[in-house]
Chain A
């Protein structure tokens, strides 16, 4: 049980810091509200307008997020491979190249279909 005490302490510190940050910014921060401040927060970019009358909903953010996740997962598989690079030898090299190629094909499809264009 003693081994877990540092983790518990770390968790308590993280929790305290989160509560402290929220509380202190509410107490000391300036309160100058304008329209932009009240909008929903989307990575600092102008928020996407909502469709009027139930038209087509823009899925730009969705596609970007999905493409990012695919890269994320690719990296997750590449890291352990990089650690075991020497012991896996040529086999690992070829298999990893095939894996990267398969993902590259997906990106070629997305690129040709205009998935990388913002507008």
Chain B
């Protein structure tokens, strides 16, 4: 017998979670626009709705960040639980929200680029038309576009904002699905090389669904162990238990599989190269930057807050995964002959470097002001996100008759053809390699310092060696671009509209700024402090 009187209407802190609501509202508005605005007007209206929605959400995030309550001055924890303890808005959440919104705003500009495909976006005219059929040609000649990509992006951003902010494993699973499903669709929407793109979407969907199932099974085991989905309750149960518990260990392991898959860490990285290569490059840029940010945020929250007491059990696991990820990413990248695949392996290696920081010292206390895992990972993700979007934006510009030219051999001599473009790309590669005066150097230094402070010095040694290996293949591309003779059929460098130019300029400037004067952003990451539980 259920007592109906027990039901009480829950308290929802609308003012605290408003950035999320603004983005989902803009996404629903985008669906309405798709239904009722005439075809000719859809593109400008959709771009406007998406950009404006993200901008307002960003401004609102700043407001939320300034209004955070100080909870624990010693641990620098600020923030509060919201929506009946199922969400938490704290320092790291707000930093991740801000980073995600900035990155997705930049991605919207890349999505909106229309000059490269002769007045159309780089997404399939009619996704339902089979490749190579009359229906496809007709959609192409009639100039049909899928402006649904903008609401899809906003829905994905909604899931990404919710993912690291959820304080409840069930809500976290919902967020994982909300962020994944639009991404699966977006991956299959390329205008050129559609079979490759659809293959990428299929692989991503199947493997993603598989990893989600792992995550969900892990959640179920953890519920069996702790009797609650809330992270603080799980933490209490972990602290109260003594000795190894099969449910807890199994749950930690299975949830780690789900989260590390999204992050793209070895041995769960196999989807990354195929999906990054097949997806439309704008989507790849968005995915590489934003999915990583959201997934690392969630990874840190689950493992530090819920499983913090069992860190002796999961730390060895993370060490192995971090080493494996760095080695696999850096070594296999050397053999790649495709620029997009090479950047995909590079993103795997970067996931490994972030995991090095993750394995470090969790959060400093008030009197010891050092680099902590949380702040170093947050900074690294922001720095890496900017450089990644910039690098992929440049890939959209190197083209021939068949679309983008991603074969590395065709990039030879690009430095003579387009010195500024090749120079900027070289700069992004140097940032990936972690050369001083770029954001990559500060990011690497921060995660290594956090790992060193946490006693994970073997990880730091491996990471430094692997940085050197990674530098080899970055430099190889630079050498090919500047110091080798061009091939017979040279790729043309397309002149983009202000959108892509703006994206490349902003991301390059951000990469310089974070490298030369990292202080403000590093301070922001430091002030984000610890996770609220």
Contact = CB atoms under 8 A, between A and B. Distances in A.
A56 interface: yes
B133 interface: yes
Given A56-B133, A83-B4, A84-B4, A108 B9 contact: no
A105 B32 contact: yes
A61 B51 CA distance: 36
A88 B9 CA distance: 5
Interface string A103-114: 001101101110
Contacts of B130: 56
A108 B28 CA distance: 11
A6 interface: no
A108 B35 contact: yes
A105 B31 contact: yes
A89 B31 contact: no
B35 A112 contact: yes
A92 B9 contact: yes
Contacts of A13: none
Contact of A113 (B10, B35, B133): B35
B129 interface: yes
Contacts of A92: 9
Contacts of A87: 4-5, 7-9
A88 B32 CA distance: 29
B135 interface: yes
B9 A91 contact: yes
Contacts of A91: 9-10
Contact of A112 (B7, B36, B133, B135): B36
B7 A102 contact: no
A14 B381 CA distance: 58
B35 A111 contact: yes
A84 B35 contact: no
Interface string A73-87: 000000000011011
Interface residues of A, number: 19
Contacts, number: 42
A59 B129 CA distance: 12
A102 B35 contact: no
Interface in A89-107: 89, 91-92, 102, 105-106
A108 B8 contact: no
A44 to B, nearest CB: 27
Contacts of A106: 31
B31 A109 contact: yes
B4 A89 contact: no
A61 B319 CA distance: 50
Interface string B13-48: 000000000000000100110111000000000000
Contact of A86 (B4, B31, B35, B128): B4
Interface of B: 4-5, 7-10, 28, 31-32, 34-36, 128-130, 133, 135
Interface of A: 55-56, 59, 83-84, 86-89, 91-92, 102, 105-106, 108-109, 111-113
Given A87-B5, A108-B35, 5 more contacts: A59-B128, A84-B7, A105-B28, A105-B31, A108-B36
22 contacts: A56-B128, A56-B130, A56-B133, A59-B128, A84-B4, A84-B7, A86-B4, A87-B4, A87-B5, A88-B7, A88-B9, A89-B9, A91-B9, A91-B10, A105-B28, A105-B31, A105-B32, A105-B35, A108-B31, A109-B34, A112-B35, A112-B36
Nearest 4 pairs of A and B residues by beta carbon: A91-B9, A112-B35, A87-B7, A109-B35
